[in-house]
Structure 1
C-alpha cells in the first residue's frame, strides 16, 4: 500500500480550487458571488480568498472579471454583427455602461475600439492545473500548480544580439540548459567590447529568441538579444521579429523550474486551447535585473500561435 506523502494535504486543496475554477468557467454568464463560490468550495469566504490568491496569484473577483472580459472580447471579434449590449448581457453585466467601463479599465479601450482594431491581445485564458508528468514522484516538483496563460499581439520589432546553436526541449539530446547560458555569456562579452563608453541610463529589455524557421537535423538557432534603440551596439548582428499573435506562459522562480512548465505548455495546454502553434520566433522576455537562480526571478515564454 502506498504511504501518504507530504503533498497529500496540499493536493486536496488544489482539488478544491480546481472545482471552483471549473464552476466559474461553466457559469460565466452568471453574476458570480463570493458567497456562492465559497459554498461550492466548502471554505468560508475568507478562506477561499486566501487560498485562491495564494495558489493562483490573483483574487477571486479579479479573476472572474478578467476571464469574463477576455471571453467578451473574443466574442466581439468573432461575432462582428452582435450588439455590444448583447455581449455584455451574455456575460452577466447588467448594462452596456457598466460593461464598457470595466472593459476600458482592463483593455485600455472601449469594446467598439477593440472590435475595430481586430487584434487579439490582452486576453486572459482560463487558469488550468499544471503538474509534473511523473505521477510517481513525491518531491515538491510533483505538486500541481496553477498557471494563467494569456493571449497577446506584438507588432514587428528589431533586436540586436548574438546567436548560436542549441538542441531544444524535444531534441533527442537536449542541451539548451547548458548552451543558452553560454550564448548569453558570449553576448555579454561582445556587448562589452562594442558598447559606448557611457552606460545607457536604462537597461534595454532582454529577449531570448528561438528561431524555429531554421530547424536543422536536431538543432535550433538561439539569439541572446536586446531591443534596438539609440544605444544599439553597432557591430552586433540584428534580427527583425514580425508581427505575431502569442500565447504567453509566465514563470517565476529559478530557471530550472521552467522545463516541466514548458513540457506541460506544449503537450497539454496547447492541444486543448483551441489555438495552433506556428513556426516562427519563440520569445523569452526577461524582467529587469533578472537572476536565473533567484526565487523572485520573473520571465515569460511567448509561443507564436494562430
Structure 2
C-alpha cells in the first residue's frame, strides 16, 4: 500500500511541475517589448507595426495596431494574390478588423475578390467621393460594414492610432488615380502618410488645403514612384525621413522619370526603400521612436 501512496504523490508532483512549466511558457510568450530597438522581431513588439509588402504588380500594406487590431491597406492585383496569400498565411491572419480600399484601380483593389473568399473582413474603409465606383469592381458581402470617409475626417482606429483623411474632395479629378484616398496614420508623435496612386495635380490640392498637415516621418510614395508625382514642393511640405516605393520594378529597370523621383528624394535627405530591391519593409513604432526592418523575400 505504501508504494501506491508514493506513486500518487509522484503523480501529483508531476502534474504541478507540468502546470508550472506551462504557466512559465505562457508568460514568456505574453512578454512584449515596447522599445523598437530592443525588439528581436515584429512578433514580440507591443506597438504599431506597419509592413509595406513587396508585391510583383500592385500595392498592399498590413498595419497591426497596438491593441491587436489589424488593418490591410489595398489588396494588390489579382495576379499578386499568390504572394499576398502567402504573406497573410505567414501572419496567421484569417480575419481583418479593417480593410482600406484607396481607389478602384486594379493595382489597389484587383485582389479583393480572392481575398474576400479566404479572409473575414469586418469593416471596409473607402473614400466617400468614389465609393460607388469602388463598389462596382468589388462586390461586398452584405455582412461587411462599410465606412465611407471624406477629406477632413478623423477616424479613431484604436486608443493610440488615428486616421487623418486628406483626399479626395470636391471636385473630382479626371484622372482616377487622383481621386484616391490619401491619409495620415498618427501614432503619438509619429506620422505615416499614405498617398495611394495620386500624382502632381492631387499634390497641388493637398498643398493648397493641408500644407500644414502633410508633414510625416514616413511617406509611402505615390503611384509606385511615377514621375507624374512626388513633386519637390510636395516633398518639402512632407519633409519625410523615410520614403517607401512599392513597386515590382527593380531600380535598374525603372524609367528615366522614376529615377528623377529618386534623385528628388535623395536631395530631400529621405532614406528611400524600393520593395522590389529591399523586399518587404516593416516599421516598428512606439509613438516616439521607430525602427525599420528589411525582410527580403
Q: State whether TM-score is above 0.5.
A: no
Give TM-score scaled by structure 1 length: 0.25
More strand by share: 2
Tell me the TM-score normalised to structure 2 length.
0.25
